[in-house]
Amino acid sequence: MRLRWDGLGPDIIGYQVYRQGGAQKRMQQVSGLVPADSTAATWVDTTAGLSGRSAFGYVVRAVGDAYGLSEPSNTTTIVPAPDYVLRTPTGLRAVVRADTVMLFWDDLSAREPTLSGYDVFRRPAGKGKFAAVHRSGFAPQTNHWTDAGGAAGAAYEYAVQAVDLNGLKSHLSSPLAVRLAASLGLPAPSSLRTAAVAGGLALFWGQVYAPHVAGYRIYRHTAGGRTTLVKKTSPDALSWTDTHARARTVYIYQVAAVDSTGAEGPASAPVTGRRP
């Protein structure tokens, strides 16, 4: 809550602010010495826990150069704004790749200007409390995360929480149940690399030697962007050219093998590429 008042004469060295309201039945000093200003003075009450359900009264007293106090000003009454509620993430979904779970959720950054990122929580399906498995730090536009710490065949529930720059946290999202494959299945493709070519970015990878390989899936994203399936190939294809890659944009690619039942193996290590 911001207070502003007219400044007084040159013999004033500062001001003191007093507040009444809530549990305080009498006016009590709540500021230090607010520096004097000949035109106007300002002070902001940042006391934690001031509720929007209560009215608070304020008065100001001037402090003279001999440290004498003036009579209190007139009382101004303020009702704080209601507590702000950070939006809860929605649209939690997952792509299961053998021993990893790729989680995605709706991006809140355009609607929450103070958003700093998201925390991810996990628990065994239907059991116990959620425990944090990922803290975002500052990544407001990163609405995805990959969990590579699950056990084969295990069932988990995931939930996501939004966090803002002031440390405010949303409610947990609706939980999402996921089960990992009982075995790791296909290995990940190796030797993934990119090269800038005429008309796009060429992607190359090593063959997965397994009799039940039915093809490969290629995933792409930019830093902070959504991971997207961009191509499905035949089992004998070990390269592909991304003709939609924009110049001077860094892309991150991963490739996963798929077996004859449609089950997808783990993704390759990510590799970056950029057209000049």
DSSP output for 156-191: EEEEEEEEETTS-B-PPPPPEEEE--SS--SPPP--
**Integer Cα distance of 32 and 192 in angstroms:** 62
**Integer Cα distance of 65 and 141 in angstroms:** 53
Specify the pLDDT at position 140.
92
Q: Are 162 and 118 in contact (CB under 8 A)?
A: yes
Q: Are 98 and 179 in contact (CB under 8 A)?
A: no
Residue ranges of domains in the chain, CATH in brackets: 2-78 (2.60.40.10), 93-179 (2.60.40.10), 193-274 (2.60.40.10)
Contacts of 167 (CB under 8 A, 6+ apart): none
Q: pLDDT of the chain along its 276 residues, tens only?
A: 789 998 887 889 999 999 998 777 899 999 999 988 767 788 988 887 776 667 899 999 999 988 899 999 999 998 876 667 889 999 999 998 766 899 999 999 999 988 999 999 999 998 889 999 999 888 999 999 999 888 767 899 999 999 998 788 999 999 999 988 765 568 899 999 999 999 899 999 999 987 778 999 999 999 888 999 999 999 999 999 999 999 999 999 999 999 877 888 899 999 999 998
Strand partners, 59: 18
Specify the pLDDT at position 247.
92
**Integer Cα distance of 152 and 264 in angstroms:** 14
Return left, alpha or beta for 167; rule: phi > 0 is left, psi -120 to 50 is alpha, else beta. Answer: left
